[in-house]
Structure 1
Amino acid sequence: MKTTIRVLGLGVALAAGLAMSLPSYAATTLRIGTVLAPDDPMGRGLEKFKAEVEEATKGEVRIQVFHSSQLGDTTEMIDQARAGANVGTVTDVARLSSFVPSLAVMSAPFLFDTFEQADKFALSEDYLSWGDTLKEKSGLVMLASNWYQGPRHALTQVPVSKPADLSGIRMRTIGAPVWIETIRAMGAEPTPIAWGEVYSALQMGVIDAAEAQPTAIKGAKLYEVIKHVTKTGHIQLVTALVVSAESWDQISADNQKIVRDLAVENGRYASGLTIELGEKALADVAASGVTISEVDLAPFKKAVAGVYELLDLNKEVAIVNRVLGR
């Protein structure tokens, strides 16, 4: 009898020890912010992502979505996430190139012609390996990089038909080297400021111009403070959904796979909305009185041709072309 009790006691102790040695995953909430309006395709994609993640993980992973810069500008949200705060965001990938320089290629001028090309490359082994390096270098986890926001066009107060027309014009752009050098090569003076400040900066004349995708032009009501949209499409804005590594590591491996898969799936959903609503957004902008112009892209492509070499991206461009089979 005593032997039986000792054996049972040993079993209980072993079970308790084993339980203590296994990782414990409590419910985790991911707070994801965006600078864009709730009705923007990215905002709608995030709301769908939230619902599907919570259902698929049975509430073990919860998502809170914050629109219209409620958690700050994109750079501020990235800084919060890196500091360990439970924050994530949808960001242009070039902002992450300070940690992994190769990532800048996702915003290289005139490199991707369609969303399908960007989506294919974002799931390639080469690109995913850069994502692994990002976690090591920055404390950020990239869930998916196929959240397409559309082609960036020039928004000005004067007509533009060639790079020389942008000479001396202060144009708001994203504060990453590939964006800055692209805008400079196109002829304008790159002026990085927060997205939430673009409307007032244009209104007050702090900047002369901006560049943005069709749905964002409409969502931010920039048609009220500009006169011309020139369809340069100089950069295809492919963005990534990133979260704090500290928060991510609190999620079980099974749930991490669910979240990643749904991030890719809903990136495609949001991208589809971007494509569907983009032309309608431009039509609405035109109806407001803004002039929408097609332009010969050859002079602009020639003007930015040196950006790849300037930023040492020739190797990455070759990788993109190999993956896309061109």
Structure 2
Amino acid sequence: MRSLGLCAAVMTMCAGSAPAVAETMLRIGTVLAPMDPMGQGLEKFKAEVEAATKGEVRIEVFHNSQLGDTTEMIDQARAGANVGTVTDVARLSSFVPSLAIMSAPFLFDTYEQADTFALSADYLAWGDALKEKSGLMMLASNWYQGPRHLLTQKPVSTPADLAGVRMRTIGAPVWIETIRAMGAEPTPMAWGEVYSALQLGALDAAEAQPTAITGAKLYEVVKNVTKTGHIQLVTALVVSAEAWDQISPENQAIVRDLAVESGRYASRLTIELGEKSLADVAASGVSVSDVDLAPFKSAVAGVYDMLNLNAEVASVNKVLGR
């Protein structure tokens, strides 16, 4: 009996000293460079989630398309892999069409406006619908990557200057129709292929936010950056719903709160580094210019009607009190 008691005591001691087993592992990827604000935000998110959940939720971060292009990572997550990514919300609109409003042209004037709307009841309800319809869980939708500008080989002053220009854009309807309305030929392509496509002439142009221009060194393969800011790139952190459901409700609340706070951290970095990025682009010899936005705004005015987003525009205006 003493022997059995000793064994029990040893087992109890071993159990007490055993390391906690991670409740789940989330592998979160991005197509951007590690020093991009999104990459820095994800590293902060990783550290704070692991600390706050006492290691019960662990996160691995993969930069520079190590887990594939954004679409490939989304497909992996939908298939049930413990994968997540930071994605433009328009890619998710094939499941919940209303989500396309976050990428609508010339809709949000500031990051603060987008952040406010991303936490509104209407928007959060669309996020809930996304889980049901796609197998993706949206943790936060306030990860701001900056204003999208035109990257071209020839100067651009009006939409007419974009006639016949093959321009890389994101392969979602609101992006495609916005670029087409602005006068160019929208050409969806994986982000990791854009540099070589511009270099070899397979593309004539692209559109990107300042930190991505420097992160991908696109200033080496274009001659002009025109500051249209036609879309404010507000992105979402999404993960596999199957992996998400393995996390306890208490830890889910922690993870979602930290996703919002890390999104704000990354967004502040985006804003701080954006002007420096453009200055660096100009210093490299690329022409960086402002332009009269009125013709571009007029050109894209029909996109809301075309994609049936007028009700969503009204929701944005109501939330923002305008």
User: In which range does the TM-score fall when normalised by the shorter chain?
Assistant: over 0.9
8 Å Cα contact 1:155/1:230 also seen in 2: yes
| CA positional deviation for 1:203 | 0.3
User: 2:59, 2:304 → 1: CA distance?
Assistant: 38
TM-score, with length taken from structure 2: 0.93
Residue in 1 that maps onto 2:268: 272
* Alignment partner, residue 89 of structure 2: 93
Equivalent position to 1:243, from 239, 242, 265: 239
CA distance in 1, matches of 2:66, 2:282: 29
Number of residue-to-residue matches in the alignment: 302
SS in structure 1 of the partner of residue 65 of structure 2: coil
Report what 2:191 is aligned to: 195
Counterpart of 2:313 in structure 1: which amino acid? V
In structure 1, distance between residues paired with 2:238 and 2:22: 21
SS at match of 1:275: helix
Q: Distance in 2 between matches of 1:275 and 1:176?
A: 25
The CA RMSD over aligned residues, in Å, is 0.7
For residue 41 of structure 1, the aligned residue among 21, 37, 40 is 37
TM-score by length of 1: 0.92
Give the Cα separation in 1 of the matches to 2:80 and 2:257: 24
CA deviations over 1:272-293 (Å, ceiling 9, x no partner)? 0000000000000000000001
Alignment identity in percent?
85
Q: Shift in Å at residue 219 of structure 1?
A: 0.3
Does the residue aligned with 2:225 lie in a helix, a strand or coil?
strand
Give the corresponding residue for 1:225. Answer: 221
Aligned partners of 1:82, 1:29: CA distance in 2, in Å?
16
List gaps (5 residues or longer) in structure 2.
1-20
Q: 1:311 aligns to what?
A: 307
Query: Which residue is equivalent to 1:111?
Result: 107
1:98-142 CA-to-partner distances (Å, cap 9, x unmatched) read 000000000000000000000000000000000000000000000
> What are the residue-to-residue correspondences of 1:122-161 with 2, within 5 Å?
122-161=118-157
- The aligned counterpart of 1:70 is 66
For residues 205 and 83 of structure 1, the distance between their equivalents in structure 2, rounded to whole angstroms, comes to 35
Deviation at 1:189, TM superposition (A): 0.1
Q: Is the 8 A contact 2:22 2:58 kept in 1?
A: no
Shift of the alpha carbon at 1:309? 0.1
Cα shift at 1:27? 1.6
Q: Note the alpha carbon deviations across 1:192-240, whole angstroms, 9 max, x for none.
A: 0000000000000001000000000000000000000000000000000
SS in 1 for 2:145: strand
Per-residue CA deviations over 1:301-322 (Å, capped at 9, x if unaligned) read 0000000000000000000000
Give every structure 1 segment of 4 or more consecutive aligned residues whose post-TM-superposition deviation is greater than 4 Å: none
Structure 2 contact 137–240 (Cα < 8 Å) conserved? yes
2:278 alignment partner AA: L
SS of residue in 2 equivalent to 1:159: coil
1:79 to 70, 75, 78: 75
Whole-Å separation in 1 of the counterparts to 2:83 and 2:55? 18
Instruction: State the shift of 1:26 in Å.
Output: 5.5
Segments of structure 1 that go 5 or more residues without pairing to the other structure are 1-24
- How many Å separate the matches in 2 of 1:27 and 1:262? 17
1:283 alignment counterpart: 279
SS for the counterpart of 1:39 is coil
Amino acid in structure 2 at the alignment position of 1:297: L
- Aligned-pair distance for 1:89? 0.1
Q: Distance in 2 between matches of 1:184 and 1:249?
A: 40
CA offset digits 1:231-288 (Å, max 9, x no partner): 0000000000000000000000000000000000000000000000000000000000
Q: 1:61 aligns with which of 57, 60, 74?
A: 57
Q: Which residue of 1 aligns with 2:18?
A: none
1:263 equivalent to 2:265? Answer no
Looking at structure 1, the residues matched to 37 and 22 of structure 2 have their Cα atoms a distance apart, in angstroms, of 31
